[in-house]
Amino acid sequence: MARHARYDRKTALEKAVGLFWEKGYHGSSMKQIEQALDMRPGSIYATFGSKDGLFSEALAAYAEQGGRELAVHLKGFDSVVEGLQDYLRRIACSCGDEDAAPSRACMIVKTLLESSNTHPALADQANSILAAIEQSIAELLEQAKVKGELVQSVDSRRLARLLQAQIMGLRSMGERNLDPQIMCDLGDDMAAILDGYRTQH
């Protein structure tokens, strides 16, 4: 049986995400990609077309996984706001855990910063993903307004952009290897932002 036949696209992408998330596009050599995926160069090119093609699919898979995780998390809460607050705290605490993920920094943001001047197509993809995430957060905030959890004067798009900026900054702070409790405290501070927009009952 051919070596690459043991692997489907999903398995290969999961391994590619781990490598690219940790090392980035430029930090991942073809030899490292071959070893991580346990695939020969010909199989990689036949499946994904190029290193750029593999990275693009891995980035999309990373973003889709993040979206699924948020959706599953929110199902555990009756309150949209409380679900988002807990999610922010979880992100913060995971950024302080060096074993929680291949990298504390967000793969999407790392791609945007790394590729802006070298691979415009990948940078554009990262920017489009971030815009979609911002839209998703804005829609969740609109749901919270409809449920009476947030004051009606809230600009959901603007607040979503603020929260995204906080998350991006928090994930970058994780690269400083700060004490885990400091990161968790920052998560509490981020969650408190939403308290300023909640309705009073």
pLDDT in tens, 70-124: 999 999 999 999 999 999 999 998 886 666 666 667 899 999 999 999 999 999 9
What is d(CA 101, CA 172) in angstroms, rounded to the nearest whole number? 14
Whether residue 138 lies inside any domain: the answer is yes
Whether residue 7 lies inside any domain: the answer is no
Instruction: Count CA atoms within 13 Å of residue 107 on its CB side.
Output: 29
Whether residue 52 lies inside any domain: the answer is no
Q: Which domain holds residue 182?
A: 59-196
Contact 16, 54 (CB under 8 A): yes
Whether residue 80 lies inside any domain: the answer is yes
Whether residue 73 lies inside any domain: the answer is yes
Percentage with pLDDT > 70 across the chain: 92
- CA nearest to 66, candidates 115, 132, 139: 132
Whether residue 178 lies inside any domain: the answer is yes
What is d(CA 42, CA 132) in angstroms, rounded to the nearest whole number? 34
> Which CATH number goes with the domain that contains 112?
1.10.357.10
- In the block, which residue shows the tokens 């490598």? 19
Whether residue 162 lies inside any domain: the answer is yes
Helices (H), 9-119: 9-23, 30-37, 41-48, 51-74, 80-95, 107-115
pTM for the whole structure: 0.88
Whether residue 31 lies inside any domain: the answer is no
Domain count of the fold of the chain:
1
Which pLDDT value is given to residue 98?
Answer: 64
- In the block, which residue shows the tokens 């705290």? 89
pLDDT in tens, 153-186: 999 999 999 999 999 988 888 888 889 899 999 9
Q: In angstroms, what CA-CA distances link 71 with 63, 84, 111, 155?
A: 13, 10, 24, 22
